[in-house]
A and B are shown apart, each in its own frame.
Chain A
């Protein structure tokens, strides 16, 4: 890079010009809303959206004392934990299988990508139809096959409905994990396994001492990204139950949407936004650390 060094004196502003459009775009449409939300969370806001003066942490204490706050936080916790955890596990297993050589592997990979490519609201609508009690496809298929004798009510209580929402969440998240892990698996050198076999390693030995350590970066990236996506996921819960009954199936995102646009409690809604933002910041911090560490390794 001698050339660059020579020109450094007169053209050191050049890279910033190249970055400018991107910085502008992100600043205006990402950073600015963050600032707005922060400001609003400390201000008094009327139902119509008129912004009043500074009120300190009043909005936050309002938000925490909302009747549904506890349920919603617990739901969000379970939602993120179950969807991310199970889809990581399933995605990992599927990736291990898809990494084998077999006939029709390309077709299987193409099929597996379907849920990733489909809009969440469409997926949620389809599952909504499938598990309907009166005419749902699942009941209809099982009845026809003679597996069940009469229709089962798949959504008899809100707890079960929430479990279904998590299941749909897992269904749509698995492909992402599977493909991330798969790309990690494919970069593993085959000779490592061969020498392990020579050393007499079994299936589990190979899994724990070769495969897992080597796909760990891919796995951690996909897990952290997933936590962010799943935490922010809105359409599944909104389409399937709209949080009914009485916010019992809401996650934080759907709850703050309802709070702001239906109940018009804009102050607490903004406070919730900031709380969510802080939670995500922690995830982001962990993520940055992972990425930076990898950067140093390179």
Chain B
């Protein structure tokens, strides 16, 4: 097939182009390797000639070592307090040089990994495509052997990896040359300093600067040429070609790509706060408050943060939370299961009224009734007790519990219970022995849902609980943040402990919960 051959040719061309772009001088550096300042010197006078000769000699010295250097001079004229004009001449020996991607591949810089991976992607894509096309250039796309299909998919994947690596490579270099070098130079980062500068020396000056490297990078300026983005374009073109060779339909595959891009973006945004919480929880206090903190992970994982929060009462808060959440779950289930059973299996007057009653109760989160609740708790002498929280949480979760449970019960056929009744079980017996075991998944879902709601509850606990040792974890973590100082690492370490269990529980019931919330729930 002619089409097949053309696209294969294009694919090869595009990858060769990518290699060519990688050989272009993409990064240009400007480093001043030598500086001499001569004060009280005017251009052309004796002192100037002397200094100039000295600089020339130094430059010659550099040239003999293989550097390509130029001499620059700047003259600053100033009038001093006595009204005399003085002038300062500064000579610098500048070296301008360029590096291409292959130089990065061979270096020991961090971005070398990205560069190497990019090179590997090109190679892999090329090899896979050649292997995948070996015998099928003449045949139609639909008739591909499975092995060839797989190789062509692999080739597209390799190109995709290359596409993603291109911005990563640029970002790593920006990070290295703009920020990391600066921080090492200003003594803000000490660890690994020698090795870092040695690696930089080997990359920038082929190891010739020796001890002078820190001075040389002082005035280093870097520019990356726009051609590097052509590389990304090449990879994109290669992906399109590979997809075309694999499936023959480009529109469909583009849509697929957009779908994945969207899903990945959503996931990244969703996970971002959790990533922040995780890494901040294990940072030292100084690192949490450092804007110029560079590493995406803590430089040192401070596990003692966990020990510190244990000392500051977090286990107590967690225990309180377990008691509140567990207690309200049990209570909500004890009241909810009979009610849901009656709603699902019995006909009685006022069924609709009860339904409305339950739905009404669900309309009001405790917050709008805060004042009433605290007043009520005062009357019942349950202010500042965990028991009070248990009752409130159970009551406000009744509606959901009844809904979810009723949905589950309705979905189970009553025949088995009828049979059990005939066998001599009472209503209670048939509920306990027959219905509950069959409804176990729905019950567990409800249980966990109520547990999580009660665990995450914050507002009522803030109002009702005044004794520190009775606080649940959601309120307890606020002790780490006061107006003048927030101990972020402790706040997030405690938050992490409060979050992980419920997230795992929630993931376990996710599938049942959603169907229950809308269909089972609304059937009411």
Q: Is the pair B276, A135 in contact by a Cβ cutoff of 8 Å?
A: no
Q: Is the pair A144, B179 in contact by a Cβ cutoff of 8 Å?
A: yes
How far apart sit A126 and B494, CA to CA, in the bound complex (Å)?
12
Q: Can you report 5 residue pairs joining A to B where beta carbons are below 8 Å apart? A: A102-B259, A112-B266, A114-B274, A141-B296, A179-B514
Interface string of B388-407 (1 = CB under 8 A from A): 00011011101000100000
> What distance in Å separates the Cβ of A117 from its nearest Cβ neighbour in chain B?
4
> Closest B-chain residue to A257, C-beta based?
B370
> Closest B-chain residue to A184, C-beta based?
B518
Q: Does A1 contact B (CB under 8 A)?
A: yes
> Beyond A113-B510, A126-B495, A146-B175, is A137–B370 a contact (Cβ under 8 Å)?
no
Chain B residues whose C-beta falls within 8 Å of the C-beta of A143 in the assembled complex = 179, 291-292
How far apart sit A122 and B481, CA to CA, in the bound complex (Å)?
12
Chain A residues whose C-beta falls within 8 Å of the C-beta of B507 in the assembled complex = 110, 113, 117
> Closest A-chain residue to B321, C-beta based?
A119
> Closest A-chain residue to B332, C-beta based?
A25
Q: Does B326 contact A (CB under 8 A)?
A: no
Partner-contacting stretch, out of B85-93, B142-150, B236-244, B456-464: B456-464
- Residues B177-225 near A (CB distance < 8 A): 178-179
How far apart sit A183 and B518, CA to CA, in the bound complex (Å)?
7
How far apart sit A284 and B338, CA to CA, in the bound complex (Å)?
25
> Beyond A115-B270, A143-B179, A146-B174, is A22–B335 a contact (Cβ under 8 Å)?
yes
Q: Is the pair A108, B367 in contact by a Cβ cutoff of 8 Å?
A: no
> Closest B-chain residue to A21, C-beta based?
B335
Q: Is the pair B375, A40 in contact by a Cβ cutoff of 8 Å?
A: yes
Question: Dominant SS at the B interface?
Answer: helix
Question: Dominant SS at the A interface?
Answer: helix
How far apart sit A1 and B289, CA to CA, in the bound complex (Å)?
69
How far apart sit A182 and B519, CA to CA, in the bound complex (Å)?
12
Q: Is the pair A183, B514 in contact by a Cβ cutoff of 8 Å?
A: yes
How far apart sit A204 and B517, CA to CA, in the bound complex (Å)?
28
A contacts with B, residue count (CB < 8 A): 106
Chain A residues whose C-beta falls within 8 Å of the C-beta of B269 in the assembled complex = 171
Chain B residues whose C-beta falls within 8 Å of the C-beta of A37 in the assembled complex = 369, 371-372
Q: Does B339 contact A (CB under 8 A)?
A: yes
Q: Is the pair B371, A111 in contact by a Cβ cutoff of 8 Å?
A: no
> What distance in Å separates the Cβ of A185 from its nearest Cβ neighbour in chain B?
10
How far apart sit A277 and B478, CA to CA, in the bound complex (Å)?
29
Q: Specify which of A114, A120, A126, A261 is in contact with B463 (CB 8 Å cutoff).
A: A261
How far apart sit A144 and B474, CA to CA, in the bound complex (Å)?
33
Q: Is the pair A15, B371 in contact by a Cβ cutoff of 8 Å?
A: no
Q: Does A10 contact B (CB under 8 A)?
A: no
Q: Is the pair A234, B179 in contact by a Cβ cutoff of 8 Å?
A: no
How far apart sit A126 and B513, CA to CA, in the bound complex (Å)?
26
Q: List 14 extra interface pairs beyond A34-B369, A266-B371, A294-B522, CB under 8 A.
A: A21-B334, A22-B339, A33-B373, A35-B372, A37-B371, A94-B266, A118-B502, A121-B458, A129-B276, A140-B292, A229-B365, A257-B367, A280-B364, A281-B363
Q: Does B45 contact A (CB under 8 A)?
A: no
How far apart sit A291 and B149, CA to CA, in the bound complex (Å)?
52
Partner-contacting stretch, out of A61-69, A194-202, A214-222: A214-222
Chain A residues whose C-beta falls within 8 Å of the C-beta of B514 in the assembled complex = 179-180, 182-183
> What distance in Å separates the Cβ of B495 from its nearest Cβ neighbour in chain A?
4
Q: B269, B456, B524: which has the most chain A beta carbons within 10 Å?
A: B456
How far apart sit A125 and B360, CA to CA, in the bound complex (Å)?
32
Q: Does B503 contact A (CB under 8 A)?
A: yes
A binding-site residues for B, Cβ under 8 Å: 1, 3-4, 12, 14-16, 18-19, 21-26, 28-37, 40, 49, 94, 97-98, 100, 102, 104, 107-123, 125-127, 129-130, 134-137, 139-141, 143-146, 151, 171, 179-180, 182-184, 186-187, 217-218, 221-222, 228-229, 232-235, 253, 256-257, 260-261, 266, 269-270, 273, 276-277, 280-281, 283-284, 287-288, 291, 294-295, 298
How far apart sit A11 and B59, CA to CA, in the bound complex (Å)?
109
Interface string of B232-261 (1 = CB under 8 A from A): 000000000000000000000000100110
How far apart sit A135 and B294, CA to CA, in the bound complex (Å)?
11
Chain A residues whose C-beta falls within 8 Å of the C-beta of B392 in the assembled complex = 29
> Beyond A30-B395, A134-B291, is A146–B373 a contact (Cβ under 8 Å)?
no
Q: Is the pair A40, B518 in contact by a Cβ cutoff of 8 Å?
A: no
Partner-contacting stretch, out of B96-104, B312-320, B341-349: B341-349
Q: Is the pair A113, B179 in contact by a Cβ cutoff of 8 Å?
A: no
Q: Is the pair A22, B375 in contact by a Cβ cutoff of 8 Å?
A: no
Q: Does B282 contact A (CB under 8 A)?
A: no
